[in-house]
Structure formats: C-alpha cells, structure tokens
C-alpha cells in the first residue's frame, strides 16, 4: 500500500494576539512523535512546559483509545473480542458522532468499513493486478459491514461476528478537538492544532486568522484557507492508494465495496468541530455535487472550502 498523505501533528499556541516579547514570555518548543507521526508543539505561555506535558499525555491517552496500530488500544480490543465492557467515554462519544454522520450521509460514512479495508490491503499485498477484489470476495465481506449492526451501550459495545471498526475517517479530527479543548481550559485563547485535521481557536500571533495551506495531490494551491474558531479537514480519494500505481484509492463505498470514483482531487470542509469536518470530507469523496449539497443541509455551520475535480 502506498502512503501519499503524510500524517503529522503540530500545535502552535499563544496566550493572546500580542507579540510574545510584549507578553514577557519565552517560546517553548517540543519535537517528537505523536499519533505515529512526526510531531511538534510551539507554545508561548509562562507555564509552557507543564501545558506541553499535558498535551502530550492527552494525545497518548487518546491514541490508546483509537489507534489501530496500538495492540492494546480500546478499539483493537473491541475488534479482537467483538465486545468491550465499560468502553472509554471518548469511544462512546466518537461513535455517537459516527451515528450522526452515518444518518446524514445515507450510510456512506460507516466505521464498520474495516473488514473491507483489510480485504483490499490483503488483496494488493498478494497480487500486482490493478483490479479490485472480485464481486464474490466483496459480497462475502460486505455482509460484515453495516453501522446498524453494532450494539451501542454505555456498559458494553458489541460487534457481530466478522465485524471490525476503523475510526480513521474521524478520529484525527476528534483528537484535534480534544487537544484544543484542553489548551482552552488552560487559559490559551489562540491555538492551532494540526493532527492531519485542523482545529483553530482565536487568531494567529499577527492578529489575523490562522492561514492553512491546501494541497491537491502534490500541488500546493496558491490560495489559503483562513480559520478563526473553526476546524478544517481535507480528503482525497487517491490520497492513499492500495496499489503501487496509485489507481485504487483508500476511501471505499460501504454499500458497494468499490473505491471512491476519481471525481475529486481535493475535498476541503470547514465546520465548527474537527470531527465533523473530518467525517464530512471523507464521505463527500463518495458523493456527487448534488448529494454533497443535500448533506450539508443537515449541518448549516459546515461548508465546502474547496472542491477540485
């Protein structure tokens, strides 16, 4: 499988829009790894080391809930056993958001897509054939896909045999929201959190909205998106591909089992929360312009920032 969308985490935060020197604050820099990717935090605050440590701990805590790459994560334990007693509240909250998106997108956003994703990954690991799995294989796996088959209960989550969840289409945005909320609770009013999806509080140090660069494939677009107290997410059907030639994209239709058509090179959504922008940008890769417009009626504060075919 070819990865062409780089995951990273960057947090920039200042206590106000005034220049750091005027505040009498030093700038604290941290670089490391978070969410399995390069990470950095730049913070201007009198208590920056403590706040940075809190942010790092929060990211690690949430990764232990949502990561498919952490063997003991809550999500992996649910997938392995088919049930999870006393699930973490963040997992329940995120699945509640998934239910909202699943309903609004007429089922095109579906976190039970993981068995289908695993089929594609295994198929292209075993063959150089550029064709997707055949109809028989897809039919066999699709019977294990369907958000309505999950038992959602605060005391226990339960999956039917053969089912598994992936929250990759929402978890990065969800984590961005949680980290931004933690920094807000520490008194920071101007924050940009980037976990691959963006959550922006307040404004940049120059007093202007935070400026977010956009890419369509490998092309950096000349314009930028301006964010103030909002979130932004971008998706592309070919952003990650299963085959080495980049022809079979990673966003799969949970109804047909087929990859998203090569209709959109870039779908960028802004919304009040990063989880919402993240989920919508993913689902919109499977939609026509008319269906996107219909879906947005359910979320009047969300909008398309860029749509490039």
3-state secondary structure 207-228: CCCEEEEEEECCEEEEEEEEEC
Question: What single-letter DSSP state applies at residue 239?
Answer: S
* Integer Cα distance of 13 and 25 in angstroms: 12
Known binding residue 256? Answer is no
4: exposed, middle or buried (C-beta count within 10 Å: 0-12, 13-18, 19+)?
Answer: middle
Strands 37-44 and 27-34: antiparallel
DSSP string, 96-149: HHHHHHHHHTTT-S-GGGHHHHHHHHHHHHH----SPPPHHHHHHHHTT--GGG
Helices (H), the chain: 20-23, 48-66, 74-81, 89-104, 114-126, 135-142, 171-185, 274-284, 289-296
How many C-beta atoms lie closer than 10 Å to residue 285's C-beta? 27
SS3 content of the chain, % helix, strand, coil (to 5): 35, 25, 40
3-state secondary structure of 235: strand
282 is in an annotated binding site: yes
Residue 258 to residue 241: CA distance in whole angstroms: 13
DSSP-derived letter for residue 51 is H
Q: Is 239 annotated as a binding residue?
A: no
How many Cβ atoms from other residues are within 10 Å of residue 207's Cβ?
A: 12
Would you call 20 helix, strand, or coil by DSSP? helix
- Binding site, residues? 169, 278, 282
- Binding site for Mg(2+), residues? 169, 278, 282
């Amino acid at each position: 499988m070819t990865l062409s969308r780089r995951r990273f985490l960057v947090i920039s935060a200042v206590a106000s829009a005034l220049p750091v020197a005027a505040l009498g604050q030093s700038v604290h820099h941290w670089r490391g790894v978070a969410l399995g990717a390069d990470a950095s935090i730049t913070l201007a605050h009198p208590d920056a080391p403590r706040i940075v440590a809190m942010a790092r701990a929060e990211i690690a805590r949430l990764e232990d809930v949502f990561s498919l790459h952490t063997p003991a994560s809550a999500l992996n334990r649910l997938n392995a056993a088919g049930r999870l007693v006393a699930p973490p509240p963040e997992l329940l909250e995120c699945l509640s958001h998934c239910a909202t998106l699943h309903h609004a997108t007429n089922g095109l956003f579906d976190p039970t897509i993981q068995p289908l994703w695993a089929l594609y990954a295994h198929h292209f690991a075993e063959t150089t054939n550029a064709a997707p799995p055949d109809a028989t294989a897809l039919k066999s796996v699709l019977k294990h896909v369907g958000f309505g088959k999950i038992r959602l209960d605060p005391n226990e989550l339960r999956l039917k045999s053969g089912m598994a969840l992936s929250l990759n289409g929402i978890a990065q945005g969800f984590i961005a929201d949680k980290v931004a909320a933690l920094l807000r609770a520490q008194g920071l009013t101007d924050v940009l959190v980037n976990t691959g999806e963006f959550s922006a509080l307040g404004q940049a140090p120059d007093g202007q909205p935070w400026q977010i660069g956009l890419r369509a494939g490998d092309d950096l677009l000349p314009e930028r998106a301006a964010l103030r107290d909002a979130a932004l997410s971008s998706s592309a059907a070919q952003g990650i591909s299963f085959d080495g030639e980049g022809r079979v994209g990673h966003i799969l239709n949970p109804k047909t089992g087929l990859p998203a058509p090569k209709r959109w090179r870039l779908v960028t959504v802004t919304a009040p929360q990063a989880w919402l922008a993240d989920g919508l940008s993913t689902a919109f890769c499977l939609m026509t312009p008319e269906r996107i417009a219909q879906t947005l009626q359910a979320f009047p504060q969300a909008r398309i920032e860029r749509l490039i075919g």
